[in-house]
């Protein structure tokens, strides 16, 4: 209940205050999705500190970098993760200490320093073009305006049931929380782990979700007939990637599909009118936000003309944590505002349409978004060139099949070196989230170049996804069925039992299709995480055997 949530959040806040934690200090939170995570986030806010979300599924190296860079005052995590993370405090062991704290709402009288809207609310790390993720510090200023705009467009209230789907390391998770608790709705918190395809459809139905923020690619991953069967789901928010008209056409009957636009640096800056299959835009600016479409001379361009989008107003990050140079490059003086006001250079290419809404046209730089994830290829390239034996690396997003955009890395080995793509991918998995590990790694003798000496990205060859060509075949009827399912989903003639699903071009959405195929063929229901934890036929067959009693019949 809200009473229980507020009581626990207050106790956590008073405990933090008793440890001299307050404004302009960060508290790291590495917790899986669950009710206690929400109480912890609210407790940090009530204490006046800033929330630093850490996705427990991230590689240890990346988590360690984020903690070293952000230097949080405390890190709250689980007992299991505390064994791996330096200085992590297990919430299970803090429960008794929290129980002894006051249950009253803390005020500035309790806090060491007063809490103002200018103080940091949270810091979120995103992919960085310089080779490491960067922390974006966002103040409380503007959050109320975003919340008011969301309430107005989504009509949330006490009867609303909002799904908590996003990873805590994405600001969408904060949108989900605000949508629910700002109007007394219920926040539906599913079990930890990735949700897509059949699993997502089941959660939406079983938990009677009314509002959900779902990337277009995840909408498209759900089984045929799901859209029509979800009678309670009347508002779907999309963002993070272009929403194809056919997805809107399929999902819009009986509900509103609303496109949110924003970056981590600007949270939510525009909201579209309900989408139709012929009218997919990123909308109009929300309250207290100004959006400018400018040319290279920072002059306003007329409607219908493409330009770069700049964001101004109260909904804006303070900047990048301890990176003044990058902050000054992206947060520039607002020539249309008052002296001292800033605007954020988004790098997005847009234009105003005749209805006064913005249409997204692309990027002015190399940043890409794949399945809703914002990715700087430069960070992946830096990780590649740090590996022994790699002289050059280029990473691009390719859409060789309609609707299937994948990251592809091209590498040039150093002289007298060869590249094992499997070893390279294993190294990358130790540093990068799985959505940033390229679907294919292509070794080249040299990079193609244009006449002026730059890499000719248009001449980079399409990857060929093939099985290793060696390795054992299936030994049991179950392995034969799994091998056929892997090959069918990956579009390959055959694979070996020890071939890795992700090394052959698999990704999270293809994994959801694989689960559906396995359900049909074997009559068992397996979670999405099983494919990530057991990505070969051999491993998955062993997992099915070891957990036979735990699997739910389809």
* Tens-place pLDDT, residues 231-246: 999 999 998 777 888 8
CATH number of the domain to which 528 belongs: 1.10.1200.10
Q: Which residues pair with residue 122 across a beta bridge?
A: 51, 138
* Distance in angstroms (rounded) separating the CA atoms of residues 320 and 127: 12
In a domain, 218, yes or no: yes
Per-residue pLDDT at 88: 87
> Are residues 443 and 346 both part of a single domain?
no
> Are residues 454 and 490 both part of a single domain?
no
Chosen domain end from 459, 492, 518: 459
> Are residues 57 and 151 both part of a single domain?
no
> Are residues 425 and 508 both part of a single domain?
no
Residue (of 191, 192, 224, 230) closest to 212 by Cα position:
230
320 Cβ contact partners less than 8 Å away, ≥ 6 residues apart = 134, 135, 136, 137, 326, 327, 330
For 495, the domain range is 477-548
In a domain, 364, yes or no: yes
In a domain, 281, yes or no: yes
For residues 81, 84, 89, 95, the Cα torsion angle rounded to the nearest 10 degrees is 30
Tokens of residue 27, six digits: 């508290």
> Are residues 339 and 242 both part of a single domain?
yes
Chosen domain end from 372, 387, 412: 372
> Are residues 211 and 360 both part of a single domain?
yes
Point out the residues of the chain with pLDDT beneath 70.
Answer: 277-278, 466-471, 547-554
In a domain, 121, yes or no: no
> Are residues 204 and 337 both part of a single domain?
yes
> Are residues 162 and 100 both part of a single domain?
no
CATH number of the domain to which 411 belongs: 3.30.300.30
In a domain, 132, yes or no: no
> Are residues 366 and 384 both part of a single domain?
no
- Residue 368's CB is within 10 A of a number of other CB atoms, namely 18
Q: pTM for the full model? A: 0.83
Per-residue pLDDT at 131: 75
* Distance in angstroms (rounded) separating the CA atoms of residues 511 and 415: 37
CATH number of the domain to which 200 belongs: 3.40.50.12780
In a domain, 128, yes or no: no
Sign of CA dihedral 404, 407, 413, 418: negative
Per-residue pLDDT at 251: 92
Chosen domain end from 323, 356, 372: 372
> Are residues 212 and 263 both part of a single domain?
yes
> Are residues 220 and 306 both part of a single domain?
yes
* Distance in angstroms (rounded) separating the CA atoms of residues 537 and 525: 16
362 Cβ contact partners less than 8 Å away, ≥ 6 residues apart = 348, 349
Calculate the alpha carbon distances from 370 to 239, 241, 396, 509 in Å. Answer: 11, 7, 11, 11
Q: How many domains does the chain have?
A: 4
CATH number of the domain to which 43 belongs: 3.40.50.980
In a domain, 122, yes or no: no
> Are residues 75 and 41 both part of a single domain?
yes
Pair 163, 207: CB distance under 8 Å: yes
In a domain, 538, yes or no: yes
Tokens of residue 462, six digits: 């399409």
* Distance in angstroms (rounded) separating the CA atoms of residues 2 and 450: 61
């Amino acid at each position: 209940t809200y009473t229980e949530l507020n009581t626990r959040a207050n106790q956590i806040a008073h405990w933090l205050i008793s440890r001299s934690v307050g404004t302009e200090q960060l508290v790291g939170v590495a917790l899986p999705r669950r009710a206690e995570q929400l109480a912890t986030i609210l407790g940090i806010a009530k204490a006046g500190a800033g929330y630093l979300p850490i996705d427990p599924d991230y590689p240890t190296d990346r988590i360690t970098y984020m903690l070293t860079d952000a230097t949080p005052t405390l890190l709250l995590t689980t007992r299991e993760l505390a064994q791996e993370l330096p200085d992590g405090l297990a919430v299970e062991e803090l429960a008794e200490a929290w129980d002894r704290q006051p249950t009253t709402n803390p005020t500035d009288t309790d806090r060491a320093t007063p809490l103002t809207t200018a103080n940091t609310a949270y810091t979120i790390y995103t992919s960085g073009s310089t080779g490491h993720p960067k922390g974006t510090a966002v103040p409380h200023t503007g959050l109320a305006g975003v919340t008011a705009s969301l309430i107005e467009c989504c009509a949330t209230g006490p009867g609303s049931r909002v799904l908590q789907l996003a990873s805590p390391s994405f600001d969408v998770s904060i949108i989900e929380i605000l949508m629910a608790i700002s109007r007394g709705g219920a926040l539906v918190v599913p079990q930890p782990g990735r949700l897509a395809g059949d699993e997502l459809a089941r959660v939406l139905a079983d938990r009677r979700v009314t509002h959900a923020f779902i990337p277009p690619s995840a909408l498209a991953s759900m089984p045929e007939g799901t859209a029509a069967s979800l009678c309670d789901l009347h508002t779907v928010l999309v963002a993070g990637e272009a929403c194809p008209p056919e997805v809107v056409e399929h999902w819009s009957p009986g509900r509103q599909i609303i496109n949110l636009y924003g970056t981590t640096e600007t949270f939510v800056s525009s909201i579209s009118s309900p989408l139709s299959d012929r009218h997919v835009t990123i909308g109009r600016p929300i309250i207290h936000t100004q959006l400018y479409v400018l040319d290279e001379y920072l002059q306003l361009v007329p409607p219908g003309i493409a330009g770069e989008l700049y964001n101004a107003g109260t909904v804006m990050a303070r900047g990048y944590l301890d990176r003044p140079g990058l902050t000054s490059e992206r947060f520039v003086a607002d020539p249309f505002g008052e002296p001292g006001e800033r605007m954020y250079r988004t790098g997005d290419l847009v234009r105003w349409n005749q209805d006064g809404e913005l249409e997204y046209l692309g990027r002015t730089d190399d940043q890409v978004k794949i399945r809703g994830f914002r990715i700087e290829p430069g960070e992946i390239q830096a990780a590649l060139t740090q590996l022994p034996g790699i002289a050059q690396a280029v990473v691009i997003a390719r859409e060789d099949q309609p609707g299937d955009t994948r990251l592809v890395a091209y590498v040039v080995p150093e002289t007298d070196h060869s590249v094992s793509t499997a070893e390279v991918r294993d190294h990358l998995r130790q540093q990068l989230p799985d959505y940033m590990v390229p679907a294919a790694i292509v070794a080249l003798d040299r990079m193609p170049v244009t006449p002026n000496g730059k890499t000719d990205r248009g001449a980079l060859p399409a990857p060929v996804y093939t099985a290793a060509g060696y390795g054992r075949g299936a030994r049991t009827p179950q392995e034969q069925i799994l091998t056929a399912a892997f090959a069918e989903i990956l579009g390959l003639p055959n694979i070996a039992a020890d071939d890795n699903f992700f090394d052959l071009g698999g990704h999270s959405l293809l994994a959801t299709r694989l689960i559906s195929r396995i359900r049909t063929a074997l009559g068992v229901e397996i979670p999405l995480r099983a494919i990530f934890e057991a990505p070969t036929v051999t491993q998955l067959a062993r997992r099915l055997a070891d957990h036979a009693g735990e699997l739910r019949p389809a």
